[in-house]
Structure 1
Amino acid sequence: MKKTITCLFLIALFTGLQALAQDFREKYRPQFHFTPRANWMNDPNGMVYHNGIYHLFYQYYPDDKIWGPMHWGHATSRDMVSWKEQPIALYPDSLGYIFSGSAVVDKNNTAGFGKDALVAIFTHHDPVQEKLKTGKHETQSIAYSLDDGKTWTKYKGNPVLKNPGISDFRDPKVSWYEPAKKWIMTLATKDRVTFYSSADLKAWSRESDFGATDGGHGGVWECPDLFPIMHEGKQVWVLIVNINPGGPNKGSAGQYFLGDFDGKTFTSNSKETKWLDFGTDNYAAVTFSNTADRKILMGWMSNWQYANQVPTHPWRSANTVARELGLKTVGKEIYLTSLLVKELSILNTTYFSLKNVSVKNQLDLTNQTKNKTGLFRLDLKTGSTADFSIVLANEAGNELILGYSKAENQYYIDRSKSGKTDFEKGFGAKHIAPRFATEKNVSLTLIADAASVELFADNGLTVVTDIFFPEKPMTHLLIKSGSGIIIDTLNYRVLKPSEK
């Protein structure tokens, strides 16, 4: 009898482990981007680095794979590549749903919760007040953790910032401003950003507004972020503002402004509207707190045009890969650059390289890649600017085309024939992105997962992120050029799934 019970236990254990192993092999499931095991996810929240761990919180609805009453989901990682899903951090309460926000390490115990406490600053969204149309249904609240984010206690004095009567009053991004020894909250307030300051994270004072006549205004401003980056010996302040709709290729997108901040007022030096990403699938992108001089950004890899309809099960949505931000001057303009974080190199497996290759019409690299999964990284540099395209394809006839057009001086991703597109009218489209670099040769990095591509051109000056849903893995790789190009270097790496 004991042997029978033992055998049954082992069979059950093996079956359970097998089920767990297959949970992350569903069709379209990203293999090195974070996704929740099941149900709905949108904006990344409260991203913070603490005691060797990267914490990712996110908008989460645990009861369905469409948007619902928002919680803060939670995942942790030591490398921003392999993520472990944790128990839900924050649940809705009498003040409302838990909307987007940020988290900080309170090193000096300014709030009195404890030295090095993690403090989350988030929006309470009251659906009852929203129905009453009082215009005061969104307020800002805080919670704290004294055990590295495992458990959270909501502050009894919530909300810490009441609504003055603005219908969209949300997404607080908080950071420490050392010159004045105070916290700065960057808050999205309908069609602009409002800055608040506090000495203790509890009592907040309004400082100034920015953006009523700046940047894109095709939709509501959301999920802002403010931080400095050193560039050519000077400190440049970066203000990120996500907007929905109104992106450069329709729907949700992120814009940014460069300028100065004196602890009270942000002054923009930007001469044009600048975009973080020209694809349609990098929204609500903000940076991690407490990463010293590194500015590391992640976004929600979807778009409100179709986020509730994408054909995934039992989950919906992934995050982008982590990206390290920098600045680069081109002519008289400064641009924000995004590059893959170095930690992603742990995914590298087999590798091949080509040099000084002439491509006229078509170069089929499928036999050399020997890639059955479609997961890869490609780094390519051409000898001169000329039309070319990179085609990802499969045996089902699906094609995702990425390329450069010399006449328009722009990059593009065309997902019109990439697989399943009929769930939303505008999904199967071609997305274009301007080229800002002035060098003769074109360089790009392309990273592909099961259902996404992220294109970083000219050392991150132009970025395009798109999701797609092929019938089978994109195992074929071709490079095409009617006019002909010279490939100076091409490095191809097959990528392995990250550990779950």
Structure 2
Amino acid sequence: MRSRSFPIDGGSIEFFYRGCDCEIILKDSKSSETLTVERGSSSSYMRVLWNLKSLSSKSVFVEVVDRGSDLDLKSFVVIPENTYEGELLFLEYSSQGIFVFGESELGELYESDSLRPRYHFTPVSGWLNDPNGLAHWQGYYHMFYQYNPFKPVWGTMHWGHAISKDLVHWKHMPIFLHRDDVECDEDESGAFSGSAYPDGNRLAVMYTKHWDPRFHRDKIAQSQYVVVTHDGINHEPVGSHAVIEPGEESLPNDFRDPKIFKEEDGLWGAVVGGSLDNKGRVILYRSKDLKNWSFSSVLYTCDENWARMVECPELLKLDGKHVLLISLVHYVEEIATYHAFHMVGRITDDTFEPDIVEKSDFGDDFYAAQTFIDDSGRRILIAWTKAYSDHDRTINRKWAGIQTIPRQLSLNEKGRLRMEPVPEIAALRTAVTPDIELRETTLGDAQLTAKLPSDSFEMEMSCSIDHPEDAIEIIIGSEDKKGEYISIGLNSERRLFIEVSVKEASDCSYHETLPLSDDVRSIDLRIFFDRSIVEVFADDYTISGTRKFRFGNMKRHLAVLGHPGVFIESLSVWEMSSIWKKGRQQSDWHQRV
């Protein structure tokens, strides 16, 4: 079996394979001469990297010989010499053939998948979760992320990587951190979450190396490592072993997700999530040189009724206040639940003392948030939208995982955290003039209805209410609620909500925030709807709700209902364009789908 021909300009090819008797061969298109070959037998995924620097300006193809009829070929990527400016090519192998498609075809490929968002970041294939190593460095926004290249389910973790010039349009990059060699794919050892910090011409990266205790009882389960990179592609370790190992301050199996930073005196700092005595905790460490770290304090400890483990902690300063971001793992009858919180407060003697504690998102699909400071001084956050309880839909589609749109952070006059979508996202509106626009309308017994321009759109609505018990509801989909729909609004108890109703019962949910105070008589909503995800912002961006869903066949219909005391000052809807390029030149995308 062979692929179509494609050009190479030097660079490299990376892929993973397993199989009992196989050959993966790169051949010259003109002469069919073998240029390089991988022959082998492996029961676990083996990483292969072909250096193609001597093969510039050639047309080649890939041939596969699978004598054992069990070859599994994953994450096959052709990497150009100029990785930042050139286009990656992706090869997918199956019993139907070897399909080749480039980054310029991703928009067309994604369009064919009704669950694939158009303007939220997703992986080409495989599993994505926590954003890692967010940074604005050397003119690019960098988003690393937890990545399983083998299957669209959580498993052995690597670090995926993408870059952007504008925080909106992303370009895929080669895998940055790989797992260590393991003997079987049931071994879930890998490169867990971490962070990055720009330090001149280098990027310092700290991450958790995880050794699966089922297979590596002689190793510490979780320790922190540091690497530095000068190009975002290659990296070198700082020291030959872990720079931070768990001491008496945490259990070794729950010691992960370091967030690295620099203090005003030039010292390096890092907070790490931990657990002890069934209480989640945030642990602070310091270093002068990135290599030698010392324990400073337990910065914060959760009540055991709140969380048994802290993941993805981050300590930051915002508008003169300290802010602590935490993602919490709590167990109810040994069933894990996951929620993200933020706290605004102060630090006294290396102990964080909160004044405000709030759930970061009322939709329950927001987790593992991380921030960075860009070159203009903005503090920007991206989070992962948690996985479904089952993966049948996305397994069939070969991908899983969605990141939120970037949000700019600030504190309001009361010290509450604001998360406002970055203004760059407005560039995705397909027109300056809204597709739907409504002004100064009083809601009564009849509902307002309109046909939506797309299943990817942005909506802004401002309204006032006469009485505290007045309610308003926005329905997307089936306006009579007899089919699939998303419902967003403010109920008579003054609680914002997102209600999801689809065919699968597991996707039906109802989420609420704490009630708004009675003196709030105006509501501003901003909604980003993108095929299988919705992000809702309200109360001057101090409230947000994120929810994923899986419509079978959603109607493109909008309905607005409310009590007679609700007055709509303005309502605008814009169709949103894809962040991925569209094209079909020499692409196998249509065969792949």
| TM class by smaller structure | 0.7 to 0.9
Distance 1:209 1:355 in 2: 53
Asked if 1:485 corresponds to 2:574, the answer is: no
Asked if 1:98 corresponds to 2:191, the answer is: yes
Q: How does 1:29-428 map to 2 (within 5 A)?
A: 29-93=116-180, 96-107=189-200, 116-127=201-212, 129=213, 136-147=220-231, 149-164=232-247, 166=251, 167-178=253-264, 180-190=265-275, 191-213=280-302, 217-230=306-319, 235-245=320-330, 251-261=337-347, 265-270=350-355, 273-291=357-375, 293-303=377-387, 306=389, 308=391, 311=394, 313-330=397-414, 334-350=415-431, 351=434, 352-367=436-451, 369=452, 371=453, 373-384=454-465, 386-393=470-477, 397-406=483-492, 408-415=493-500, 417=501, 419-422=502-505, 424=506, 427-428=507-508
SS in 1 for 2:427: helix
For 1:472, the equivalent position in structure 2 comes to 553
SS in 2 for 1:158: coil
Deviations 1:359-403 (A, max 9, x none): 113433324x4x1x2111111111225201000005992111111
Distance 1:32 1:21 in 2: 10
SS in 2 for 1:34: coil
For 2:75, the equivalent position in structure 1 comes to none
Distance 1:311 1:488 in 2: 40
Deviation of the 1:155 alpha carbon: 3.2
Distance 2:165 2:118 in 1: 17
Distance 1:363 1:134 in 2: 66
Distance 1:498 1:421, change over 3 A: same
Aligned letter for 2:180?
D
TM-score, normalisation: structure 1: 0.85
Cα contact 1:142–1:158 (8 A) shared by 2: no
Point out the structure with max Rg over C-alpha: 2
Deviation of the 1:261 alpha carbon: 3.1
Deviations 1:402-427 (A, max 9, x none): 11013x22100111x2x2434x4xx3
SS in 1 for 2:424: helix
Cα contact 2:152–2:394 (8 A) shared by 1: no
Cα contact 1:136–1:164 (8 A) shared by 2: no
For 1:450, the equivalent position in structure 2 comes to 531
Distance 1:266 1:291 in 2: 30
Distance 1:21 1:294, change over 3 A: closer
Distance 1:200 1:160, change over 3 A: same
Deviation of the 1:259 alpha carbon: 1.3
Distance 1:50 1:40 in 2: 26
Aligned letter for 2:471?
D
Deviation of the 1:325 alpha carbon: 1.1
Deviations 1:91-134 (A, max 9, x none): 01269510000011113xxxxxxxx201110000011x455668
Cα contact 1:40–1:316 (8 A) shared by 2: yes
Cα contact 1:103–1:289 (8 A) shared by 2: no
Deviation of the 1:461 alpha carbon: 1.4
SS in 2 for 1:270: strand
Q: How many residues align?
A: 462
Distance 1:280 1:410 in 2: 15
Distance 1:202 1:309, change over 3 A: farther
Distance 1:213 1:283 in 2: 17
Distance 1:78 1:347 in 2: 14
Consecutive unaligned residues of structure 2, counting only runs of 5 or more, are 7-28, 31-58, 62-88, 90-98, 183-188, 582-593
Cα contact 1:105–1:290 (8 A) shared by 2: no
Distance 1:123 1:448, change over 3 A: same
For 1:112, the equivalent position in structure 2 comes to none
Question: How big is the alpha-carbon RMSD for the aligned residues of Structure 1 and Structure 2?
Answer: 3.0
Aligned letter for 1:397?
G
Distance 1:480 1:143 in 2: 54
Deviations 1:225-249 (A, max 9, x none): 111111xxxx1010000012479xx
TM-score, normalisation: structure 2: 0.72
Distance 1:494 1:476 in 2: 13
SS in 2 for 1:24: helix
Cα contact 1:381–1:489 (8 A) shared by 2: yes
Distance 1:292 1:102, change over 3 A: farther
Deviation of the 1:329 alpha carbon: 3.9
Aligned letter for 1:97?
G
Bigger mean CA offset, 352-361 vs 435-444:
435-444
Cα contact 1:379–1:490 (8 A) shared by 2: yes
Aligned letter for 1:269?
P
Cα contact 2:485–2:554 (8 A) shared by 1: no
Distance 2:131 2:390 in 1: 15
Distance 2:178 2:193 in 1: 13
SS in 1 for 2:108: helix
Higher strand fraction (1 or 2): 2
For 1:433, the equivalent position in structure 2 comes to 513
SS in 2 for 1:45: strand
